[in-house]
């Protein structure tokens, strides 16, 4: 005995490849499909519509197939409200809870499609209505007509789920909208089509990035820079500090190591014990990063060291002087760490999440771990640029689900100065 379900796909599903992926996923997962209706968009801006019946050997197999199709934007054809169940305990979600993608998502509640707020991958969907309680949960799958307020749907990581939260389960009543690639190949971020460019920084690409950063600043948006220590080692530190000072970078996300070596460069002229100008190894240079940490701890924090005049240049100095917020997320391998570094991993994750949700464009600069961490918190609609000399960093970011990112495999020490020249040197600026 087989079971089946009708699903629908709509949009630029041929150009984006989502229709072919759906067909392939059904067959690879042991199911079958029959196309019941297929209308091809015949002009540049026309969308394509596909309605198909999906068949599997069991309900469990069918659920697995529908989950995969849902990630590609397919929706169950029969419009029904999402299934909602209360969380049985803190940090415990119902069996078969819906695990989110990072794409714009809508949940059907009380007959209406509600946009999910602060969408993020690998989270639970929580439905909120004023007046809802655990006792109302048994009635949660029907319309709560007495409730005058509009329902909200938000995301929660599993450790934030509280007993009684109304959690969306299954695949019914959920619509996902993956980024599309219209036939003209354009868009507000023309080069952001996913993929990796293995070449030196091209002027045209940097011009586009600079234009986007200007637009973000003019519209009071937020540019988030995710920074690795290689920025300091390779000589890109001063250019990044200039971008912060001139208002082109609005927030910094980094680890303990980036801040330590930025401060070490100011105090001792070295980065990881190496003179960044002469490339010589000064006597006791290998101790400079520890001395730096000790000096900052002595003053209490980075801002207090700046106020005392101990730190007077560099990225962290410009952040303090220009009220640019930063999050330093610690790890098990950190020396010190600096007093400003968040050592509680959950607290650090929440701080990164808050930064990511506010960002309009993210520059991921020479750091694998922080790029993946921030990338996991970003919606797929956030414009993202990942730059690293190591191709594995760029490809791993894309493999982890940040398909919206454009990757450049190049020297960060060349990329950042070129970007700073484009943004900060009037003679280098081009009309948008």
Band of residue 16 on the pLDDT scale cut at 50, 70, 90:
confident
> Mind listing the pLDDT tens digit for each residue in 48-74?
899 999 999 999 999 899 988 988 888
Sign of CA dihedral 369, 318, 343, 163: negative
Torsion angle in degrees (nearest 10) through CA of 50, 51, 56, 61: 70
CA dihedral 346, 352, 358, 359 (to 10 degrees): -160
From CA 401, how far away is CA 271, in angstroms rounded?
33
Judged by DSSP in three states, 429 sits in coil
Q: Do domains 1-78 and 195-428 have the same CATH topology?
A: no
Q: How far is the C-alpha of 302 from the C-alpha of 295, rounded, in Å?
A: 10
- For the stretch 294-340, pLDDT in tens is 999 999 999 999 999 999 999 999 999 999 999 999 999 899 999 99
> For the structural domain made of 79-180, what CATH number should be given?
2.40.420.10
Given this model, what pLDDT does residue 188 score?
42
C-alpha of 192 from chain center = 14
Give the per-residue pLDDT at 201. 53
Instruction: Write the pLDDT tens digit of every residue in 18-51.
Output: 889 899 999 999 999 999 999 988 777 788 899 9
| CA separation for the pair 379, 364 (Å, rounded) | 15
Residue with the bigger pLDDT between 273 and 181: it is: 273
Give CA–CA dist 107/192, Å, rounded.
28
State pLDDT tens for residues 223-281.
999 999 999 999 999 999 999 999 999 999 999 999 999 999 999 988 876 766 656 66
Cα–Cα–Cα angle for 312, 316, 318, nearest 5°? 65
Q: How would you write 51-114 as a 3-class SS string? A: EEEEEECCHHHHHHHHHHHHHCCCEECCCCCCEEEECCECCECCCCECECCCCCEEEEECCEEE
pTM of the model: 0.82
For 273-296, the pLDDT digits (tens) are 676 665 666 667 778 999 999 999
Looking at domain 195-428, what is its CATH homologous superfamily?
Answer: putative lor/sdh protein like domains (3.40.50.10690)
Query: What average pLDDT does the segment 188-205 reach?
Result: 56
Residue 205 has pLDDT above 90, yes or no: no
CATH of domain 1-78: 3.30.70.2690
Percent residues over pLDDT 70 in the chain: 84
The answer to whether 274 touches 288, Cβ cutoff 8 Å, is no
Distance CA 261, CA 272 (A): 6
Q: How far is CA 144 from CA 112, 133, 281, 298, in A?
A: 12, 12, 70, 59
Across 200-216, average pLDDT? 85
Q: Where are the domains of the chain?
A: 1-78, 79-180, 195-428
Q: What is the pLDDT of residue 184?
A: 52
Which of the residue ranges 79-93, 138-152, 265-279, 405-419 has the most confident prediction, judged by mean pLDDT?
A: 79-93
Whole-angstrom distance, CA of residue 407 vs CA of residue 409: 7
Tell which wins on pLDDT, 180 or 34: 34
Query: pLDDT grade, residue 424 (50/70/90)?
Result: very high
Which residues have C-beta within 8 Å of that of residue 9, sequence separation ≥ 6?
18, 19, 22, 48, 49, 50, 51, 52, 72, 73, 74, 75
């Amino acid at each position: 005995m087989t079971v089946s379900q009708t699903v629908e796909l709509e949009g630029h599903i041929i150009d984006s490849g989502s229709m072919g992926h759906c067909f392939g996923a059904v067959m690879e997962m042991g199911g079958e499909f029959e196309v019941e209706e297929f209308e091809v968009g015949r002009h540049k801006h026309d969308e394509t519509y596909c309605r198909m019946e999906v068949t599997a050997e069991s309900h469990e197999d069918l659920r697995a197939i529908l989950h995969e199709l849902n990630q590609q934007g397919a929706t169950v054809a029969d419009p029904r409200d999402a299934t909602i169940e209360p969380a049985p305990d803190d940090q415990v979600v119902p069996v078969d809870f819906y695990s989110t993608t990072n794409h714009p998502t809508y949940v059907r509640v009380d007959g209406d499609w509600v946009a999910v707020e602060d969408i993020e991958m690998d989270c639970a969907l929580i439905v909120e209505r004023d007046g809802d309680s655990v006792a109302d949960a048994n009635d949660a799958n029907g319309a709560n007509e007495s409730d005058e307020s509009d329902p909200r749907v938000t995301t929660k990581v599993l450790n934030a789920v509280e007993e009684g939260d109304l959690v969306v389960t299954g695949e019914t009543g959920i619509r996902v909208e993956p980024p599309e690639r219209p036939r003209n190949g354009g868009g507000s971020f023309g080069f952001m089509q996913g993929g990796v460019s293995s070449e030196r920084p091209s002027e045209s690409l940097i011009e586009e990035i600079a234009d986007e950063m200007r637009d973000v600043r003019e519209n009071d948006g937020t540019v988030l820079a995710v920074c690795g220590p290689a920025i300091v080692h390779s000589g890109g530190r001063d250019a990044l500090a200039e971008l912060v000072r001139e208002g082109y970078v609005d927030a910094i996300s980094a680890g303990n190591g980036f801040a330590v070596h930025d401060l070490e460069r100011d105090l001792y002229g070295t980065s990881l014990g190496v003179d960044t100008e002469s490339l010589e190894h000064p006597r006791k240079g290998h101790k400079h990063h520890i001395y730096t940490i000790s000096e900052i701890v002595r003053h209490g924090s980075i801002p207090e060291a700046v106020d005392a005049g101990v730190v007077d240049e560099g990225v962290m100095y410009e952040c303090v002087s220009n009220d640019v917020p930063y999050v330093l997320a610690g790890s098990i391998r950190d020396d010190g760490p600096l007093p400003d570094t968040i050592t509680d991993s959950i607290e650090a994750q929440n701080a990164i999440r808050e930064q990511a949700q506010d960002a309009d464009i993210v520059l991921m600069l020479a750091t694998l771990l922080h790029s993946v961490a921030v990338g996991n918190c970003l919606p797929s609609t956030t414009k993202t640029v990942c730059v690293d000399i190591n191709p594995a960093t760029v490809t791993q970011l894309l493999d982890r689900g940040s398909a919206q990112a454009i990757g450049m495999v190049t020297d960060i020490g060349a990329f950042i100065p070129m970007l700073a020249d484009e943004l900060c040197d009037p003679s280098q600026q081009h009309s948008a």
